[in-house]
Chain A
């Protein structure tokens, strides 16, 4: 108990919270207590802090309120909108393009022809950002940069969104399984951080031919599986398809047959050409499609 140096009153006041929290190292604690024992002013100060803390812990409610109605509403939401239900979900999430609304689990093919159409899909991310949702970009750097620039032009602080990890750029893997894992990880990370709604914007088609890029076949395997994976994850997935440069088979199979929904001419539509995941994958592996 020989303090290295005497603590001043000022120092004691600065460390009182650390002391009360038990966060001071032993030497600091000893110096604190040594000073405290000998200083009436500091004794009063510490006593007042304790009183404030204790008083805060005893704050009485102004009036106790009946929350049963609010709680009943919450239960109703659980009953009607829980993901354990298999029924059609209510479409009430602003998609951010056109004036369409989406539902959790949507997997949408976004066909675009002109660059302004591609730029417009940034609205999907902007809507998410303004609602405090998480956004994940997955695609070629050029596509990502273009989307980010478009968001910036729309008045969003992209740097801050990235820093807060509200906006993330996912890594591109060469296999469908790797890509699925990557997306699954990003979604779960966002959920863990308190953002249980994730918008994913894929533009994998831009990078075709880049070394290490997934082949068309892997992209199709991914697309088919995203539909089922998204069902119980709090996500909406939009995949962009450039109709002017992509080969027909990729547009038809990857775009049309893997997405239960399509977006074209400002309209979101159910897609009758969608092929169920299991069948699609089977046909892909036997080469019969």
Chain B
């Protein structure tokens, strides 16, 4: 089913031990958690708010929420999913505040808070395994076009596309973090990919030749 899904049960033994350590106030455990998610939180925050500085504030605010919520978190989802739920809520709230404050300039414009992607990123190999697209196809130009396309998407499409295809999340993780249904998630993903494909069509012409060999 899910090609990139890790599909873990909500709370592993390891995770409940981590939670205990965090509640005891073990700084090292918390530092590991921060190191694991900070960059990705920042990228996702950037999907909602107009500047990197505001994204940083949203992320700081998210960690404060994590710290405060630790004792009431029951592990009904994974720690990661929970942290991103907090982030999405805070980022949305902040985005509303910002948009009422000033006219919104598109997120992800030129500058991007993107970090090197963590290992285990998307492969999305579909059931039949023919395609391994040429790396060369993603020229710098295509990458730039792609960012512009993402930037121009409505927020809900942008977020789903980003989490699934750039961050490499499973659909379960995305549904859980955004509190949306599986079918809805797929519709959003479909629309976002379709828009990206048609916007990039001229750049993809070459690719056709490359993937026809089946």
Q: How far is the CA of A21 from the CA of B60 in the complex (A)?
A: 34
Judge whether B207 and A51 touch: CB under 8 Å: yes
Judge whether B131 and A18 touch: CB under 8 Å: no
A1 within 8 A of B: no
Residue of B63, B72, B207 with most chain A CB atoms under a 10 A cut-off = B72
B214 to chain A, nearest CB (A): 8
B175 within 8 A of A: no
A5 within 8 A of B: no
Across the interface, name the chain B residue whose C-beta is closest to A56.
B165
A65 proximity list for chain B (CB < 8 A): 113, 115
A50 proximity list for chain B (CB < 8 A): 124, 126, 131, 133, 211
Judge whether A77 and B161 touch: CB under 8 Å: no
Judge whether B115 and A64 touch: CB under 8 Å: yes
Given contacts A65-B115, A194-B82, contact A57 B24 (CB under 8 A): no
Judge whether B3 and A22 touch: CB under 8 Å: yes
B86 within 8 A of A: yes
Judge whether B38 and A67 touch: CB under 8 Å: yes
Judge whether A53 and B127 touch: CB under 8 Å: no
A210-234 interface with B by 8 A CB criterion: 232-234
Given contacts A17-B190, A21-B186, A62-B114, contact A57 B67 (CB under 8 A): no
B138 proximity list for chain A (CB < 8 A): 54-55, 58
B166-209 interface with A by 8 A CB criterion: 166, 168, 171, 179, 186, 189-190, 193-194, 196-197, 200-201, 204, 207-208
B75 to chain A, nearest CB (A): 9
B38 proximity list for chain A (CB < 8 A): 67, 70-71, 74
B63 proximity list for chain A (CB < 8 A): 74, 77-78
Q: How far is the CA of A20 from the CA of B138 in the complex (A)?
A: 21
Judge whether B190 and A18 touch: CB under 8 Å: yes
Q: How far is the CA of A256 from the CA of B39 in the complex (A)?
A: 47
- Please give the number of chain B residues whose Cβ is less than 8 angstroms from any Cβ of chain A in the complex: 88
From A40-48, A116-124, A257-265, A266-274, give the one contacting chain B: A40-48
Q: How far is the CA of A20 from the CA of B3 in the complex (A)?
A: 9
- Please give the number of chain A residues whose Cβ is less than 8 angstroms from any Cβ of chain B in the complex: 63
Judge whether B93 and A132 touch: CB under 8 Å: yes
Across the interface, name the chain A residue whose C-beta is closest to B178.
A194
CB 8 Å contact bits of B134-156 with A (1 = contact, 0 = none): 01011000110011000000000
Judge whether A44 and B208 touch: CB under 8 Å: yes
Judge whether A52 and B123 touch: CB under 8 Å: no
B137 to chain A, nearest CB (A): 6
Judge whether A18 and B115 touch: CB under 8 Å: no
Judge whether B27 and A188 touch: CB under 8 Å: no
Q: How far is the CA of A150 from the CA of B178 in the complex (A)?
A: 30
A284 proximity list for chain B (CB < 8 A): none
Across the interface, name the chain B residue whose C-beta is closest to A234.
B68
B127 proximity list for chain A (CB < 8 A): 19, 22, 29
Residue of A33, A52, A53, A81 with most chain B CB atoms under a 10 A cut-off = A52
Judge whether A48 and B171 touch: CB under 8 Å: no
Known: A44-B212, A48-B201, A55-B142. 12 other contacts (CB 8 A): A13-B194, A22-B1, A55-B146, A57-B123, A59-B146, A61-B116, A75-B27, A81-B64, A104-B68, A191-B69, A192-B77, A197-B69
12 sample A-B contacts, Cβ–Cβ < 8 Å, listed by A number: A16-B190, A21-B1, A22-B126, A22-B127, A53-B165, A54-B138, A65-B113, A67-B39, A71-B34, A77-B64, A191-B74, A233-B71
